[in-house]
Amino acid sequence: MILGLDTFGDVPENDSGTLVSHAAAIRQVIDEAVLADELGVDAIALGEHHRPEYSISTPETVLAGIAALTKRIKLGSGVTVLSSDDPVRVHQRFATVDAISRGRAEVILGRGSFTESFPLFGYDMSQYDLLFEEKLDLFVKLLDEKPVSWTGQTRPALVDADVFPKTESGRLTTWVGVGGSPQSVVRTAQHGLPLMLAIIGGQPSRFAPYVDLYRRAAEQLGTVAHPVGMHSPGFIADTDDLAKEIYYPHYKIQRDRIGALRGWPPLRKTEFDAEVEHGSLYIGSPETVARKIASGAGSLGVGRFDLIYTAGAQPVSARMRAVELFGAKVAPMVREMMAE
């Protein structure tokens, strides 16, 4: 069971309640990753965003900094928005991180949960589906690390193009992040790539049909059904009440900001409490969170769980404590529970 952490580099508050700079927020993520590595956490994934409340727009750049300061933790994106990037450059950048980290890099490709990157980099939203389909097709070809010939509508063609640097292993570890589209699940299986499910609401068990679909599609298509991963939001403190007290105010601000863009009503405390109790918010003491992870991951039979441990401007000191508790207490307890 791989147990990891996930963050978008949310800009946190310092101990005086003031938001830190984007630069300080990036350095904070590096500090958290170094601590996670020291405590034996298996992986850390950094998401890509182009919004003021997040500090990370180029995950691989931050991962390169983390790579130089760590020894064992896997270093991935969560996710890289492939639709508004260039597959060749993405492969080159992550192959570079792989070199610096001595083989610990992995990329999770996806469409992203926001669309700011499309106008920012000059992509047409009317090609939303085509962009991802074509660029994923090209990226999969690049994974063989041989000269590539490719033709499509969304970027210039390639003719026997050789891409550098090569990885020492010969293949970059690559996942596809999926939020709940059956077509995306089947596409992932078609390309023979591992599936990472973004489960951010409701009971995890409702995603069981997607896990089953992935495995059936891989069997029918003659590809490999890799162990499935999942990532969900949460927060850990010394007690259940303290975790909720720290997490909720900042989470509500973030959730309502997103909701305003998508036509959702403001989050109510009763909804939050219900999601903590029965849904996909993993919030509480180490014992509470460990039991819930073991239950949620066990219900789906997944091989990896990543906790999105930031959501809004939780204070720096509380975030560091959450990482410490995840590595020192939660991860060992989950492994013990899953082994029973």
pLDDT digits (tens, 9 = 90+) for 94-136: 999 999 999 999 999 999 878 999 999 999 999 999 999 999 9
Task: Give the domain CATH number at 277.
Answer: 3.20.20.30
Q: What is the pLDDT of residue 32?
A: 98
**Which structural domain, as residue segments, surrounds residue 247?**
2-339
**Intervals of the chain under pLDDT 70:** none
Q: What is the pLDDT of residue 186?
A: 97
The structural domain count of the chain equals: 1
Helices (H), 101-181: 117-120, 128-142
Supply the angle between the helices 286-300 and 208-221 in degrees, to the nearest 10.
40
CB neighbourhood size of 110 (10 A): 25
Residues 6+ apart with CB under 8 A from 156: none
Q: What is the pLDDT of residue 15?
A: 87
Residues 6+ apart with CB under 8 A from 112: 48, 49, 79, 81, 83, 84
Token digits of residue 92: 């080159």
Q: What is the pLDDT of residue 156?
A: 96
- Tens of pLDDT along 241-295? 999 999 999 999 999 999 998 999 999 999 999 999 999 999 999 999 999 999 9
Q: What is the pLDDT of residue 202?
A: 92
Please write down the long-range contacts of 124-128, taking CB distance under 8 Å and 24 or more positions apart.
127/153, 127/154, 128/83
